[in-house]
Amino acid sequence: MKAIKKNDFKTALEFFNKSVDLFTQYDWVDKYRAITLLSAAKMSYREMSLCNMAFCYSQTNEAEKAKDLYEQILKEYPDNGIAYYSLNSINTFSNKSD
């Protein structure tokens, strides 16, 4: 998140990708995050990291990568409002430029 605050989206992508890898490999840590990480967050850390990666792609003018990732997020997490609204925004703006 520090990298995002500094608008260093490429570096942020690297960290979020590592986070996705970690929580994919050790999904039990994320599943039981209330105990393992003392976090009562509704959204899993893997899901948050994927959303943050897609956001970073959108900030680096990689709309297609962002769009693909938001679509992947919605397949895995159909109730993800961030992905839903962000994907709608991307689609709206890309349709206006056609």
Give pLDDT tens digits for 58-71: 999 898 999 999 99
pLDDT tens for residues 25-42? 999 998 888 888 888 888
For CA atoms 83, 79, 18, 71, give the dihedral sign.
negative
Domains of the chain are 2-96 (1.25.40)
Whether residue 12 contacts residue 4, with contact meaning beta carbons closer than 8 Å, is answered with: yes
pLDDT at position 39:
85
In this predicted structure, what is the pLDDT of residue 38? 84
pLDDT value, residue 86: 93
How many angstroms separate the first and last alpha carbons of the chain? 34
What is the rounded distance in angstroms from the CA atom of residue 83 to the CA atom of residue 69?
A: 9
Which of residues 83 and 39 earns the better pLDDT score? 83
What's the predicted TM-score (pTM) here? 0.86
